[in-house]
Amino acid sequence: MGPAFNRIWASSIVSNLSDGVMLAAVPLLAISLTDSPVLISAIGATVMLPWLLFAIPIGVLVDRVDRRFILAGANAIRSVIVGFVALSISLDVLTIYGLIIAGFVIGTCEVAADTTAQSLMPQILEEKDYEEGNSRLQISETIIQGFVGAPLSGFIYALAMFLPFLINSLGFAIASLFALSIPIKYLQDVRAEDVTKVKSNFLADMKFGISYLFNQKVLRRLVITTASIGLCYSMATSTMVLFVIKELGLQERYFGVTMAIQGVGAIAGSLVASRASNKFGRSLVMTCAIVASSVFVLIEGFAPNIYVLVPLATLGGFVISQWNILLMATYQTVIPQDLYGRIHGTRRTLVWGVMPIGSLLGGVLAKVSLRLPMYVGGAIATVIAIFSVNFLLNLGENSRAESGL
């Protein structure tokens, strides 16, 4: 798919490896610092909060500045912050509040890195390759995080609490170098368009991103639907580590292993997403995936033990990975390339910006019962998905018509 995609892919692989090592380490570290469900859920909330606060201005910045530097800079800052966390752990001075603050900074960098990477995709790939490109990124993310990083995470954490964070810091540093190596020729066209077409100031560009999304009726409803279901998912999973360890009795060192097993479903879903879309149609596959995923979230709350929960979560991973891949391909198809950063930032403000609310609600519900967040979140998500079936089935045709494609 070309050298530019390969650099982004390589950067993604390295950062996902370090993220995988952190995947089990962060919740394990959190429960070693506090047993409060609210504070534990606050970690997930503060990581997602920057999407609500900064996604729109960062999106505008992505459309104005050399995207290689934004991607590299975001990874470099994450490397430094995680390095400080590792040092604080080794010196035994880290508190749950310090971890929450670090999560907020890392989350802000995640906004910049994700927005930049997704803005580059339609710029370096032809439309026919969108699904395949997103599928490759999804597969590598799942394999590296779930089958390399996560299984090792619990054991590395057991050796030394700071070690997963040190590995994560080094991974982000390497990912930053890969981002800088993206060939500049793949970025020149969009920058040229920005120079000739975008004459407004920064604030006007932010307003434009909001108004564009508001005026595109199909796109607007898709974003609202996705945001509502995402809030429910965030609510359901915010205290999952407590549910698995405290309620189901899983030993901490096996937490990463269970996550790796669940990754099998995500890989399978990523492998079949493009093929299923070609055979059955993107809209039908997306519709079935989001309904099934919501039902699985609800059923997981009734799991009597880890041996039932893991297969359910694996099936959930199978369907939600298909939704994620095809949803992103839809956005990349209908949003103009030179506007992608600010529109992507606006929609992510809504979709991911509400997730901190869901996480905190999940923490409050978990004080009553560790199963309650999955009951409530899964039930509401299922209702929303079912009521959205007709809209989603006609999504492809309507979105293209609205965009004039």
Instruction: Give pLDDT, residue 193.
Output: 44
* Model confidence at 126: pLDDT above 50: yes
Cα separation, 392 vs 405, whole angstroms: 18
Instruction: Give pLDDT, residue 145.
Output: 65
Q: Are 318 and 265 contacting, i.e. CB atoms less than 8 angstroms apart? A: yes
Listed residue (16, 10, 8, 316) closest to 145, CA to CA: 16
Instruction: Give pLDDT, residue 124.
Output: 76
Residue 53 vs residue 139, higher pLDDT = 53
150 by Cβ neighbours in 10 Å (0-12 / 13-18 / 19+) ranks as buried
Residue 1 vs residue 385, higher pLDDT = 385
Phi, psi of 185, deg, nearest 5: -60, -25
One-letter amino acid of 142: T
Q: Which residues of 257-281 are buried (b: 16+ CB within 10 A; e: fewer)?
A: bbbbbbbbbbbbbbbbbbebbeeee
By three-state DSSP, how is residue 166 classified? Answer: helix
Instruction: Give pLDDT, residue 377.
Output: 94
Rounded mean pLDDT of 307-332?
89
Given its phi and psi angles, is residue 303 left (phi above 0), alpha (psi -120 to 50 degrees) or beta?
beta
* Model confidence at 136: pLDDT above 90: no
* Model confidence at 355: pLDDT above 90: no
Measured at the CA of 150, the angle between CA 53 and CA 10, to 5 degrees, comes to 70
- The verdict on domain 3-403 having CATH code 1.20.1250.20 is yes
Least confident of 71-80, 116-125, 239-248, 277-286: 116-125
Q: Which residues of 2-39 are buried (b: 16+ CB within 10 A; e: fewer)?
A: eebbebbbbbbbbbbbbbbbbbbbbbbbbbebbebbbb
Count other C-beta atoms under 10 Å from residue 348's C-beta: 24
* Model confidence at 305: pLDDT above 60: yes
* Model confidence at 387: pLDDT above 70: yes
Phi, psi of 376, deg, nearest 5: -70, -50
Rounded mean pLDDT of 253-261?
73
Q: Are 167 and 18 contacting, i.e. CB atoms less than 8 angstroms apart? A: yes
Residue 53 vs residue 283, higher pLDDT = 283
Across the chain, which distance is largest between two alpha carbons, in Å? 61
Instruction: Give pLDDT, residue 347.
Output: 83
